[in-house]
Amino acid sequence: MSKHYTATAKALHWGVAVLIFGLLGLGFYMTGLELSPTKLQLISWHKWAGVTTFALVVVRLAWRVTHRPPALPDYMSALERFAAHAGHHLLYVLMVAIPLSGWLMSSAKGIQTVWFGVLPIPDLLAKDKALGDLLRTVHMILNFVLIAVLLGHIGAALKHHFINKDDVLTRMLPRRAE
């Protein structure tokens, strides 16, 4: 078994990571704006990127199910292994739950998503302001949980690289052909 992730896994990991950080930044920025044509355009872009990210996450999950990742280092304790697996599972749950909560929120608020202005995404709920407001709160809370889990994920990768001096980080980094 290879010590590195496949090129496809790496591309999906880093592509989704860039999209998630962009979505977080855009989401926090746009929520502070007054209602305006600019805010509506940013909301559309956020939704388009969210749908795209969700689709890539589905592909990523399918890839992960059919391609085993490299084994964790042998020296890791049972608790570290549990934390690593739990963290990854939680990231996947959040990468599915957050866009779904956004989709449900948009549906309940009566604002249909039209992906890139071309493909209408069907609403999942009838218009209901109270439910839309609740789902907005759920969407925000899930994003704060995601930030916490991402900080743990990044912190663990950096700990492995700089303190443990192992290959846990580098096996997910792009590399030149050997």
pLDDT at residue 59 in the model: 98
Spatial separation of the C-alpha atoms in residues 91 and 106, rounded to whole Å: 23
> Which distant-in-sequence residues (6+ apart) come within 8 Å of 99 by Cβ?
50, 51, 53, 54, 57
Spatial separation of the C-alpha atoms in residues 5 and 134, rounded to whole Å: 39
Spatial separation of the C-alpha atoms in residues 160 and 67, rounded to whole Å: 23
pLDDT at residue 173 in the model: 94
> Which distant-in-sequence residues (6+ apart) come within 8 Å of 12 by Cβ?
56, 59, 60, 63
Contact 149, 90 (CB under 8 A): yes
pLDDT digits (tens, 9 = 90+) for 143-175: 999 999 999 999 999 999 999 999 999 999 988
Residue with tokens 């663990």: 156
Spatial separation of the C-alpha atoms in residues 111 and 133, rounded to whole Å: 13
pLDDT band with cut points at 50, 70 and 90 for residue 3: confident
Which tokens belong to 111? 């604002």
Residue 114 φ then ψ, to 5°: -120, 100
pLDDT digits (tens, 9 = 90+) for 7-35: 999 999 999 999 999 999 999 999 999 99
Residue 178, pLDDT > 50, answer: no
Which tokens belong to 133? 């407001």
Residue 43: CB atoms within 10 A of its CB come to: 19
pLDDT digits (tens, 9 = 90+) for 38-81: 999 999 999 999 999 999 999 999 999 999 999 999 999 999 99
